[in-house]
Amino acid sequence: MPDALNPSDPRAPSDPRIPSAPQTPPIPPISSRDAPRFGSAERKSALAAAFQEQGEDYDRLRPGYSDVVLDEVLAQVPAGSSGVPARAIDLGAGTGKLSWALVGRGLEVTAVDTSAAMLDTARDGRPTGEGSAPLTTHLASAESTGLPAGSAELVTVAQAWHWFDAEAASAEVVRLLAPGGVLALVWNMLDVTIPWVHRLSRIMHAGDIHREDFLPTVGAGLELAGRSVHSWEDPMPTQDVIDLARTRSYVITAPEERRAKVLANLDWYLHEHLGHAPGTTIGVPYRTDVFLYRPSSQRGTPPTVHGEPGNREPEGERAD
């Protein structure tokens, strides 16, 4: 059983944001943050390094990317030469969830990451039905890939842009893009506009939740070409929802006692407070925010915005 409640515990009845009535916690005010808060460059580096050995859990528990999102991104990608697939570079590719989805759509994909362990998982993670299409992996930072200039019609970054130096990464993206190319920044986020999910995100210390009018920070060489929001659900057994916290940088880097308390609180919240039987599959509401950019020198149509604005943000460090 979880430890006795204390005032900092997300279940504590003294917390005015969480009333005693079950399943009806209010949504706290919208965050005023414009960017992730890491405290220091050292803290940011420590949180980023936390993912280095998390490949298998990350790949198993984190959600993938829907056909709707892929359709939207690929509609902006210029076609390759006759008989030659369009080229994509996936920066901060991690375990290759988006990389493999792009391979499945017929692109020639290079997955770039600073974690050899993550890229090992990516190479081993060929989804069923992808045939013999290869995935190239490349160990490098997003700010300095060492890949040839003009070598991609599409550059993607999923769940990772906030880990990069925005100015340096933007300059590298502009260098990598072929004429007519596009950058797609993508975030899957828990849909905290739903009260029980917002409370879940606070207990889990999910950091990938954006304020309503969030726009990523990019360098001067990039211009916003479009934005959209897509809502959906990821069916997960309750134990996987609990284990999802193990892929969060806050939990990964927390002392063992604090990590155990977070997991115990999640167990209580899902099985006692919400009343789900252990092992039950529940739909976890997500939303996917997509931001499309082109180099500033490329003239095109004005930015388009689809769907609702981004999410509210839970308290704590925003890092994922």
Residue 85, domain member (yes or no)? yes
Kindly report the CATH number assigned to the domain that includes residue 91: 3.40.50.150
Q: How far apart are CA 92 and CA 88, in angstroms?
A: 13
CB 103, CB 167: distance < 8 Å: no
Residue among 91, 138, 143 nearest 119 (CA): 138
pLDDT digits 0-9 by tens, 144-186:
999 999 999 999 999 899 889 999 999 999 999 999 999 999 9
Domains held by the chain: number: 1
pLDDT at residue 23 in the model: 44
Residue 89, domain member (yes or no)? yes
Q: Which domain range does residue 133 map to?
A: 41-188+208-231+286-306
Q: What is the pTM of this model?
A: 0.77
Q: How far apart are CA 85 and CA 202, in angstroms?
A: 43
Q: Which residue has the higher pLDDT, 171 or 49?
A: 171
pLDDT at residue 152 in the model: 97
pLDDT at residue 49 in the model: 52
By CB atoms closer than 10 A (0-12, 13-18, 19+), residue 77 is buried
Residue 220, domain member (yes or no)? yes
Residue 106, domain member (yes or no)? yes
Residue 68, domain member (yes or no)? yes
pLDDT at residue 41 in the model: 57
Residue 141, domain member (yes or no)? yes
Residue 21, domain member (yes or no)? no
> Which residues, listed in sequence order, are joined to residue 156 by a DSSP beta bridge?
90, 184
pLDDT digits 0-9 by tens, 227-250:
999 999 999 999 999 998 887 777
- C-alpha distances out from residue 8 to 11, 128, 190, 213, 261, Å: 8, 45, 22, 29, 12
pLDDT confidence tier of residue 32, bands split at 50, 70 and 90: very low
> Which residues, listed in sequence order, are joined to residue 284 by a DSSP beta bridge?
234
Residue 264, domain member (yes or no)? no
Q: Under DSSP, is residue 262 helix (H, G, I), strand (E, B) or coil?
A: helix
**Helix, strand, coil % over all residues of the chain, rounded to 5:** 30, 20, 45
